[in-house]
Amino acid sequence: MVHAMEALLHAQSVADRTTSKVQPDSIFRHHPDRSDDERVVVHPFPDRVAIKARLSNFLPHEYAHSRPESVGFGAPVVDLDLFEPDPATGAGELLVRGPNVVKGYWNKPEQTVDALRHGWYHSGDLGCMNAQGYVFLVDRAKDMIISGGENVYSTEVEEILYQHPAVMEAAVFGVPDTMWGEAVHAVVVPRPGHTVDTVSLMAFCREHIAGYKVPKHIDLRSDPLPKSGPGKVLKRELRAPFWASHTAQIN
């Protein structure tokens, strides 16, 4: 058990230091040389790993190669559930309950009341679970875009953009739209030495995802996207100018 925890924390520390997109299989290279029953795999995307309490989910090594896109199962001492799942996609906010879940936020009573309701911790992560108990994260609740009544998961659009060979960085978020409520907006940083235009990027997206998910606007920038200390893209900074005249960042 100690070795499993060491592997978990080691893999997580690698994920937290990673600032570029990596494929799920690549995380295996970072694991200590443990026996199969001791190794634990953590999803490599630092902004999609958790459910806040990092030990609330785990992916045993023997299942990791077959389900690299999953963050695993609920830990043995943790209960997981979904809050108000979408009938169309099955995705809902992940709820966590267990002895390792926080009891509240220090000196933040309003945030505590909002996050801890009826014995469950509301993670802010949107995900779904299949019949075998695998958990799949799709987005942060605050990053989901509602355009024309349709839910658009920003991470799904970002992953398509990252498949384009000329894209080094991408961030997708919702901006105000008088017709649709919100419109899908992307900010893209091209790779050095590559040229790309917004029309070709939109066409590339249209080949892989539904039309309502394709960005209506794409900003091309030469400067790196703003990031936090651990390397997570700060979408709030990218989103803020578009919502400056609104009282809330949702239409």
What are the pLDDT digits (tens) for 204-251?
999 999 999 999 999 999 999 999 998 889 999 999 999 888 755 555
The pLDDT, as a whole number, for residue 247 is 58
The pLDDT, as a whole number, for residue 103 is 87
CATH, residue 114: 2.30.38.10
Strand 57-60 and strand 73-74: pairing? antiparallel
User: Is the domain of 130 the same as that of 182?
Assistant: no
Interatomic CA distance for residues 1 and 224, integer angstroms:
40
In a domain, 223, yes or no: yes
The pLDDT, as a whole number, for residue 250 is 52
Query: Any residues with CB less than 8 A from the CB of 162 and at least 6 apart, and which?
Result: 21, 170
Residue 9 has pLDDT above 70, yes or no: no
Instruction: Tell which of 142, 171, 190 closes a domain.
Output: 142
Largest CA distance in the chain: 57
Instruction: Tell which of 85, 113, 142 closes a domain.
Output: 142
Residue bearing the bigger pLDDT, 141 or 166: 166
The pLDDT, as a whole number, for residue 3 is 38
In a domain, 251, yes or no: no
Residue bearing the bigger pLDDT, 53 or 141: 141
Per-residue pLDDT band at 62 (split at 50, 70, 90): confident
R_g of the chain, CA atoms, integer Å: 19
Instruction: Tell which of 117, 142, 167 closes a domain.
Output: 142
In a domain, 178, yes or no: yes
User: Is the domain of 133 the same as that of 186?
Assistant: no
In a domain, 78, yes or no: yes
**Please, is 172 exposed, middle or buried when counting C-beta atoms within 10 Å of its C-beta (0-12, 13-18, 19+)?**
buried
The pLDDT, as a whole number, for residue 48 is 38
Q: What is the pLDDT of residues 78-109, one digit of tens each?
A: 889 999 898 888 889 999 998 888 888 899 99
The pLDDT, as a whole number, for residue 219 is 97
User: Is the domain of 152 the same as that of 137?
Assistant: no
Interatomic CA distance for residues 165 and 27, integer angstroms:
21
Question: Region 33-62: what's the mean pLDDT?
Answer: 47
Write out the H or E segment, with its range, that includes residue 8: helix 2-17
In a domain, 249, yes or no: no
In a domain, 248, yes or no: no
User: Is the domain of 102 the same as that of 161?
Assistant: no
Per-residue pLDDT band at 16 (split at 50, 70, 90): very low
Instruction: Indicate the SS3 state at residue 6.
Output: helix
In a domain, 27, yes or no: yes
Residue 122 has pLDDT above 70, yes or no: yes
Q: What total of structural domains would you count in the chain?
A: 2
User: By residue range, what is the domain housing residue 125?
Assistant: 2-142
In a domain, 39, yes or no: yes
- Write down the pTM of the prediction: 0.64
User: Is the domain of 104 the same as that of 76?
Assistant: yes
User: Is the domain of 135 the same as that of 166?
Assistant: no
The overall average pLDDT reported for the chain is: 78
User: Is the domain of 62 the same as that of 39?
Assistant: yes
Residue bearing the bigger pLDDT, 13 or 173: 173
| Cβ atoms within 10 Å of 64's Cβ, excluding its own | 21
User: Is the domain of 127 the same as that of 222?
Assistant: no
